[in-house]
């Protein structure tokens, strides 16, 4: 290459530029271009690499059940996560401009971004434990449920003598009717010690009360033996039992709760014969937890965990875009009579459109290659239902199956999914840079 008359040679003029670009070109070729070409070449061969099979591995993608499930799951991820993360980031970014404790709020939302997605999966796997005593999510659900509907005292029980009959589902009742001034003794058995309320005390025989009906509900079991139907020492009363007073026709007249010693009382009862029944509400099973890690809910559980981890990124990027918007434009809209919602919808969002596009496209690329959070969060039993394309590529190639030809085809298929979004990003960069 000859130098132009009176000027430096191109090598001399661009030598520094070439010098800086050379390491990048070498590493790009070694780590990106060559592996991509080699992967495509390998995808045309059998799994053992000894037979050229053309595009058989690619056609097999759509007949493999796990890979088809992975494609469906990735479609769900692309449909939900980018829009969800962008929306959450927008809401959080607006909130940080309006709340006094903005710094603490930003820290709380951004903190998950500093954790690897594998660690996020481990954290949320613990939070999703089905037992409300172990899993935070189910503990919160149990708290809300208990606030609306009081849980039962006992999971189950049986009558301890022939004087008591019925089942937990329909209610356990005293066989004989009781009239005012009478006392009802309802002994229950088949209650393990672990199911007894902690506040239970020694059961006592209640005194008869004129114009009322008294009674006791107790665990009719004495270590070493005892007499069924009789209240004895070392037998505990059952607290918080729902006792119903019913007419002879079966209609409920009143309701009472037992004390810690199992006693209860109905005051001001008119003359007549009444049934005393331990209501079925006593035996409502406690909340056992939602199976978030089961086959049906594992994908929504993964999406929630990913949204939690990614919302901070969107908040920071969109927050920077909000800070760059001229406040004069917003004030002008308010001066013209626009409400806050109209300013937000017709002024703020259009001005933020380029930033929102960046966040949206970035999240699409991110969810297409999602892998580690699925591996760490989804249990083995439900991983087939939660699998994604990147995870299938890894399992087919490197998790013991050694299907390198098929795994390479999955990798190239995943790469092909990235191309439209890469082109979109390139066009956007060109449009922004004129």
What is the model's pLDDT at position 19? 83
CA atoms of 409 and 398, how far apart (whole Å): 14
Over residues 273-295, mean pLDDT: 89
Over residues 283-291, mean pLDDT: 83
What is the model's pLDDT at position 151? 76
Residue 105 · residue 96 · CB < 8 Å:
yes
**Sequence-distant (≥ 6) Cβ neighbours of residue 413 within 8 angstroms:** 58, 61, 389
CB-CB neighbours of 351 under 10 Å: 16
- Measured at the CA of 304, the angle between CA 300 and CA 305, to 5 degrees, comes to 120
CA atoms of 407 and 416, how far apart (whole Å): 14
φ, ψ for residue 352, nearest 5 deg: -90, 0
364: nearest Cα among 423, 407, 323 = 423
My answer on whether 193 and 272 are in the same domain is: yes
Over residues 383-407, mean pLDDT: 91
In a domain, 227, yes or no: yes
CATH code, domain carrying 304 = 1.10.3720.10
pLDDT digits (tens, 9 = 90+) for 129-182: 998 888 999 999 988 877 777 778 898 899 999 999 999 988 999 999 999 999
My answer on whether 173 and 124 are in the same domain is: no
In a domain, 53, yes or no: no
Q: pLDDT class for 1, splitting at 50, 70, 90? A: very low
**235, 265, 283: which is the final residue of a domain?**
283
Least confident of 47-51, 56-60, 146-150, 265-269: 146-150
CA atoms of 130 and 136, how far apart (whole Å): 9
My answer on whether 305 and 427 are in the same domain is: yes
CA atoms of 84 and 79, how far apart (whole Å): 9
Residue 202 · residue 261 · CB < 8 Å:
yes
Over residues 271-282, mean pLDDT: 92
Q: Is 60 exceeded by the pLDDT of residue 65? A: yes
In a domain, 315, yes or no: yes
Q: Is 90 exceeded by the pLDDT of residue 340? A: no
My answer on whether 104 and 222 are in the same domain is: no
DSSP-H helix ranges across 325-348:
327-335, 340-343
pTM of the model: 0.77
In a domain, 50, yes or no: no
My answer on whether 87 and 194 are in the same domain is: no
My answer on whether 428 and 395 are in the same domain is: yes
Domain that holds residue 204: 158-283
**283, 316, 338: which is the final residue of a domain?**
283
Long-range CB pairs of 245-252 (<8 Å, 24+ gap) are 245/213, 245/269, 245/274, 245/275, 245/276, 245/277, 246/173, 246/274, 246/275, 246/276, 246/277, 247/272, 247/274, 247/275, 248/177, 248/272, 248/273, 248/274, 248/275, 250/275
What is the model's pLDDT at position 10? 67
Q: Would you say how long the chain is, in residues?
A: 434
Q: Which residue has the higher pLDDT, 133 or 315?
A: 315
Q: Is 80 exceeded by the pLDDT of residue 60? A: yes
- Measured at the CA of 176, the angle between CA 171 and CA 182, to 5 degrees, comes to 105
CB-CB neighbours of 399 under 10 Å: 13
Residue 84 · residue 91 · CB < 8 Å:
no
Write down the residue that tokens 């810690």 correspond to. Answer: 260
Looking at the chain, the whole-number percentage of residues with pLDDT higher than 70 is 96
What is the model's pLDDT at position 189? 94
My answer on whether 207 and 269 are in the same domain is: yes
DSSP single-letter state for residue 202: B
Residue 213 · residue 171 · CB < 8 Å:
no
CA atoms of 206 and 220, how far apart (whole Å): 16
What is the model's pLDDT at position 2? 53
The token duo for 158 is 């049986």
In a domain, 8, yes or no: yes
In a domain, 140, yes or no: no
Over residues 100-105, mean pLDDT: 85
Residue 73 · residue 373 · CB < 8 Å:
no
- Give the H or E element holding residue 142: helix 136-148
Distances (CA, A) of 342 to 149, 214, 327, 334, 346: 41, 66, 15, 9, 6
What is the model's pLDDT at position 327? 85
SS3 276: strand
Q: Which residue has the higher pLDDT, 193 or 430?
A: 193
* CA distance between the termini of the chain: 32
In a domain, 339, yes or no: yes
Q: Is 70 exceeded by the pLDDT of residue 427? A: yes
My answer on whether 243 and 315 are in the same domain is: no
**230, 249, 283: which is the final residue of a domain?**
283
- Give the H or E element holding residue 363: helix 349-368
My answer on whether 213 and 112 are in the same domain is: no
Over residues 292-299, mean pLDDT: 93
Q: Is 60 exceeded by the pLDDT of residue 6? A: no
185: nearest Cα among 214, 158, 209, 210 = 214
Over residues 380-387, mean pLDDT: 92
My answer on whether 105 and 64 are in the same domain is: yes
**Half-sphere exposure of 315 toward its Cβ, with a 13 Å CA cutoff?**
25
Q: Is 90 exceeded by the pLDDT of residue 214? A: yes
CATH code, domain carrying 189 = 2.60.40
My answer on whether 170 and 124 are in the same domain is: no
Q: What is the mean pLDDT of the chain?
A: 89
Over residues 194-201, mean pLDDT: 92
What is the model's pLDDT at position 434? 60
Total domain count for the chain?
Answer: 3
My answer on whether 111 and 176 are in the same domain is: no
In a domain, 48, yes or no: no
């Amino acid at each position: 290459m000859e130098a132009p008359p009176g000027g430096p040679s191109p090598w001399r003029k661009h030598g520094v530029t070439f010098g800086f670009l050379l390491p990048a070109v070498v590493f790009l070729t070694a780590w990106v271009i060559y592996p991509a070409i080699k992967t495509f070449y390998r995808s045309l061969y059998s799994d053992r690499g000894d037979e050229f099979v053309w595009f058989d591995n690619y056609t097999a993608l759509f007949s493999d059940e796990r890979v088809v499930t992975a494609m469906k799951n990735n479609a769900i991820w692309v449909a939900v996560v980018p829009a969800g993360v962008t929306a959450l980031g927008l809401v959080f970014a607006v909130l940080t401009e309006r709340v006094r404790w903005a710094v603490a709020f930003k820290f709380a939302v951004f903190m998950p971004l500093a954790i690897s997605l594998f660690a996020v999966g481990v954290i949320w796997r613990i939070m999703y434990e089905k037992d409300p005593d172990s899993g935070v999510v189910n503990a919160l659900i149990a708290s809300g449920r208990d606030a609306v509907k009081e849980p039962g005292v006992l999971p189950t029980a049986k009558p301890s003598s022939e004087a008591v009959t019925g089942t937990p589902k329909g209610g356990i009742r005293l066989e004989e009717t009781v009239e005012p001034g009478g006392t009802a003794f309802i002994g229950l058995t088949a209650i393990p010690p672990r199911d007894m309320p902690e506040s239970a005390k020694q059961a006592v025989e209640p005194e008869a009360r004129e114009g009322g009906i008294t009674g006791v509900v107790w665990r009719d079991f004495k270590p070493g033996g005892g007499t069924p139907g009789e209240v004895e020492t070392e037998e505990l009363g059952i607290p918080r039992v729902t006792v119903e007073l019913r007419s002879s026709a079966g209609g409920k007249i009143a309701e009472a709760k037992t004390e810690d010693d199992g006693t209860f009382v109905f005051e001001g009862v008119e003359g007549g014969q009444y049934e005393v029944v331990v209501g079925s509400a006593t035996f409502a099973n406690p909340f056992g937890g939602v199976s978030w890690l089961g086959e049906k809910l594992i994908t929504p559980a993964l999406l929630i965990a990913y949204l939690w981890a990614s919302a901070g990124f969107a908040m920071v990027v969109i927050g920077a875009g909000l800070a760059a918007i001229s406040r004069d434009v917003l004030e002008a809209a308010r001066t013209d009579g626009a409400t806050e919602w109209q300013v937000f919808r017709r002024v703020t969002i259009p001005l933020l459109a380029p930033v929102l596009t960046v966040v949206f496209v970035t999240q699409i690329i991110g969810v297409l290659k999602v892998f580690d959070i699925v591996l760490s969060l989804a249990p083995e039993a439900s991983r087939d239902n939660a699998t994604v394309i990147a995870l299938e590529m890894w399992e087919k190639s490197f998790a013991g199956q050694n299907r390198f030809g098929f795994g390479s085809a999955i990798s190239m298929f995943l790469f092909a999914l990235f191309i439209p979004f890469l082109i979109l990003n390139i066009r956007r960069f060109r449009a922004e840079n004129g």
